[in-house]
Every structure is written in structure tokens, then in C-alpha cells.
Amino acid sequence: MTTSTKGLEGIVATQSSISSIIDDQLSYVGYRIDDLAEHASFEEVIYLLWNLKLPTKAELENVKQELAKNMEIPEEVIDHLRSYDLSTVHPMAALRTAVSLLGLYDDESDIMEPEANKRKAIRIQAKIATIVAAFSRIRNGQEPVKPKADLGYAENFLYMLNGKEADAIEIEAINKALVLHADHELNASTFTARVCVATLSDIYSGITAAIGALKGPLHGGANENVMKMLSEIGEEENAIPYVEKKLANKEKIMGMGHRVYRNGDPRAKHLKEMSKQLTTLTKQEKWYNMSVKIEDYIKENKGLPANVDFYSASVYHSLGIDHDLFTPIFAVSRTSGWLAHILEQYDNNRLIRPRAEYIGPDLQDYVELNKRG
Ligand SMILES: CC(=O)SCCNC(=O)CCNC(=O)[C@H](O)C(C)(C)COP(=O)(O)OP(=O)(O)OC[C@H]1O[C@@H](n2cnc3c(N)ncnc32)[C@H](O)[C@@H]1OP(=O)(O)O
Ligand SMILES: O=C([O-])CC(=O)C(=O)O
């Protein structure tokens, strides 16, 4: 057998028509991320990823209505969220459990026909934002807010989170963040989802597994840790000494580096621009200024670029969002990509089962218990 590649670096593990990263350029179904970030609504991107074409006006209206109509979550899921010890439960753990629980209240959860899978995809995408918002409100001692059928996805999420309709700039920021995080080829959580459903397990299992993979700090969990780092740094003048110390201790700087991008993550510049705008507007420029200092220093000294998680931290912070909700918001967006990949996997399935290069002891004779030293 050939030797293994640590972390499967550079291994092409599947074919996909959903998104691509070629020469540091990201596109969804061939549409450049820069164009989508500037012009598309999240619902348009959901449609694009699931249907491999941009929607017509009527198709977009339909997907918007379907999502809005399916946003409410079962009372049992809300009751379950109320039952957690909210002082210790991380919202990503709550989300993982709640999505799994949601599957128990979906009559079609184990029906594997393509049309049933598409209906479930809509329901999961619609409800995941509601779960995150409900968790946050319950944790803050507030009642969950029901979605409004006439609001768009980003708007509804903010409405359910804050209990009031959001400003245009907040909606624009969240919509853009959702568009930018929606899909990313065969990242770790998407691969996890595909491996799971390639056993012909159900969609809820695939999304639950993917949430677990996204939670880790080397993946989606990095955005929360970026804000933790910025908060520890506190003031701009502390940024470089802080980073130097981390590097001297061989610690990683969260939000920096990427397995695929070597010259920069094309999503980061959009979030950087948004961070500048929002931190200026909310008079919290120090978070942006500090981030720029760190980005420049790491680029110059380690040759590593900022990834999507780096500036999303100061964007969400300036929108007043709790830091541990940053990764759940990433999950809300990436659910659209996970679902697209799950549907694509079902469409042309083969069990995913690579090999391991064995590096343990040679064959040896079994030693009876009473003869072991
Ligand atoms: C949405 C996303 O998932 S984007 C990624 C989010 N994750 C992060 O931001 C966490 C911080 N970044 C990292 O840990 C890494 O850059 C990853 C996991 C994203 C990519 O990692 P890989 O391609 O596997 O690189 P790997 O971890 O092997 O690092 C290679 C070298 O670069 C260094 N390095 C990589 N990232 C960083 C970093 N953020 N800070 C400091 N050093 C780093 C490593 O220490 C290692 O150095 P060494 O060769 O001297 O030991
Ligand atoms: O592709 C990756 O490895 C990580 C990433 O940027 C993402 O999932 O958005």
C-alpha cells in the first residue's frame, strides 16, 4: 500500500459541481464569490447551491416563501433547549443536539427519496436559524420570538435573535456573512457530512455530524477564538507583543492560515471591509485596527494570510452578537453547503472508506492473561 498523507492534504476525494477553489479563486457553481458577496441574497445562494443555477424571480420568491414558512421549530425542541444548564452548555453543542432532536419530529426523516430529501433540506435550513436564536433568547432569560413570514432569511434571524426588526446595515452585514460562509468545497465539516450520508444514513445524521466537525477551533470554532484573543489583547498597543509571545510559545494565531489558500482567502477582504465599516459606525475601531496589525504581522513574519474566520469576529462583535454565537452563525450558513453536498452525495453515492497505513507492531502471538508480565 502507498504511504498516507497527513490530514489528507492535497488528496482529491470526490468530484463535485457545487463550489471550487482554483488558484485561490472561490466560486459557487462557477459564480465568483466577489460577485455573489456584492449582489446575492442568501436565499439566492441556497437555491444556487441546491439547483446548480441561479433562480428566476419566481423561483427565488418560492424558495424565500418556503424557508419563511418552515422556520418555526417544534415546542419539544424549545422545551429541550430550556432544560439545559445554560451556564455551561456551548451553543454549538446545543445546536448539534437540537438538530439531531429535530429529526425525531420530522415524519420524513428516514425516507430517502430525492423529493423527500429536498423537502427536509428546506425544513432544516429554515429551522436552524430559529434554533440558534431561540437558544440565545432562552439563555438570556427571554422568550423565543417566532419568525415572521414576510421577512427574508437574514432579517428573520436578526428579528428572532433580538426581538425587534433590524436596521438595513445589520441585515446587509448578516446576509453578506451568510453568503460568504455558505460553501467551501471539501472542507472538514462538509467532508464529514458526505462520509456520514455515504453510508446511506439520513440527512439529520449528516448535518449533526457536520456541526460536530465545524465546532472545533481549527475549523469554524476559530471565529469565537479570534474574538477571545482580541479581548485578551484589549488595546491596540498590546497586539504585537501578545502575538510575539504566542508564536514564541509555538501557539497558533486563530483566524490565520489555511490548508488550501496560500496567498489569501478571497472571503476575508469582504469581511475586513465590513469590519472597518461596522467598527467605525459603532465607534469600536480598536477591534478593526488591532486585527489589521495582527494580520500584517503574521503575513510578514509567518507568511500566513487571514482566513474567513478572522474578520468575521469583529464584524459579529460590532453587531452586538455574543461571542459564542459566532460559530453557530457559521453553521446556519454552512448548512446550505452541507445540504447541497449531501444531496449530491446521495445522487451518485458510493461508500467512502479510505485505508489507513498501519504503523503498529508486526504480527505477534496472543499471550494468555496469566502469562503476561
Ligand atoms: C473556516 C475555516 O476552517 S478556516 C481555518 C480556521 N482555523 C484557524 O484559523 C485556526 C488557526 N489556523 C490553523 O490552525 C491552520 O492554519 C489550519 C488548521 C487552518 C490549516 O492548517 P494546515 O494546513 O494543516 O497547517 P498546519 O497546522 O500543519 O501548519 C503548518 C505550519 O504553519 C504553522 N501555522 C499554521 N497556522 C498557523 C497559525 N494560525 N498561527 C501560527 N502558526 C501557524 C504551524 O504551526 C506549522 O508550523 P511548523 O511547520 O513550524 O510546525
Ligand atoms: O476549506 C477549509 O478547509 C476551511 C474553510 O475555509 C471553510 O470551511 O470555509
171 C-alpha vs ligand 1 centroid, how far in Å?
Answer: 32
Question: Which residue has the CA at smallest separation from atom 38 of ligand 1?
Answer: 252
- The answer to whether residues 200 and 307 belong to one domain is no
Judge if the beta carbon of residue 221 lies within 6 A of ligand 1.
Answer: no
Choose the residue to mutate in 218, 258, 333 for probing ligand 2, maximizing ligand atoms within 8 Å of C-beta: 258
Q: Which three cell numbers stand for residue 339?
A: 445540504
Q: What is the DSSP letter of 256?
A: B
- The answer to whether residues 253 and 195 belong to one domain is no
Judge if the beta carbon of residue 258 lies within 6 A of ligand 1.
Answer: yes
Q: Is 357 inside a domain boundary?
A: no
- The answer to whether residues 186 and 229 belong to one domain is no
Residue 34 known to be catalytic:
no
Measured distance CA(33)–CA(106) in Å, rounded: 34
Half-sphere exposure of 294 (CA within 13 A, CB side): 34
Proximal ligand: closest to the CA of 246: 1
Q: Is 366 inside a domain boundary?
A: no
Q: Which three cell numbers stand for residue 158?
A: 436578526
CATH of the domain at 235: 1.10.230.10
3-state class of 339 per DSSP? helix
Structural domain ending residue among the three candidates 273, 297, 318: 318
Does residue 334 contact residue 220 with C-beta atoms inside 8 Å?
yes
ipTM strictly over 0.95? yes
Q: Is 12 inside a domain boundary?
A: no
- The answer to whether residues 91 and 233 belong to one domain is no
pLDDT tens digits in sequence order for the chain, 373 residues long:
678 899 999 999 999 999 999 999 999 999 999 999 999 999 999 999 999 999 999 999 999 999 999 999 999 999 999 998 888 999 999 999 999 999 999 999 999 999 999 999 999 999 999 999 999 999 999 999 999 999 999 999 999 999 999 999 999 999 999 999 999 999 999 999 999 999 999 999 999 999 999 999 999 999 999 999 999 999 999 999 999 999 999 999 999 999 999 899 999 999 999 999 999 999 999 999 999 999 999 999 999 999 999 999 999 999 999 999 999 999 999 999 999 999 999 999 999 999 999 999 999 999 999 999 8
Sign of the Cα torsion 316, 320, 324, 325 reads: negative
Q: Which one from 265, 309, 324, 341 is the annotated catalytic residue?
A: 309
- The answer to whether residues 53 and 180 belong to one domain is yes
Q: Is 102 inside a domain boundary?
A: yes
Q: Is 295 inside a domain boundary?
A: yes
Measured distance CA(288)–CA(286) in Å, rounded: 5
- The answer to whether residues 266 and 333 belong to one domain is no
Q: Is 356 inside a domain boundary?
A: no
Residue 258 known to be catalytic:
yes
- The answer to whether residues 90 and 51 belong to one domain is yes
144 C-alpha vs ligand 2 centroid, how far in Å?
Answer: 31
- The answer to whether residues 160 and 277 belong to one domain is no
Q: Is 11 inside a domain boundary?
A: no
Q: Is the pTM of this model over 0.90?
A: yes
Judge if the beta carbon of residue 219 lies within 6 A of ligand 1.
Answer: yes
Q: CA–CA distance from 80 to each of 83, 84, 134, 147, 326 (Å)?
A: 5, 7, 11, 19, 22
- The answer to whether residues 247 and 144 belong to one domain is no
- The answer to whether residues 207 and 235 belong to one domain is no
- The answer to whether residues 162 and 59 belong to one domain is yes
- The answer to whether residues 104 and 165 belong to one domain is yes
Judge if the beta carbon of residue 259 lies within 6 A of ligand 1.
Answer: yes
CATH of the domain at 336: 1.10.580.10
In the chain, how many domains are there?
2
Q: Is 1 inside a domain boundary?
A: no
Q: Which atom of ligand 2 is nearest to the CA of 181?
A: 9
Measured distance CA(131)–CA(208) in Å, rounded: 13
Measured distance CA(260)–CA(276) in Å, rounded: 26
Residue 230: give the domain boundaries.
222-318
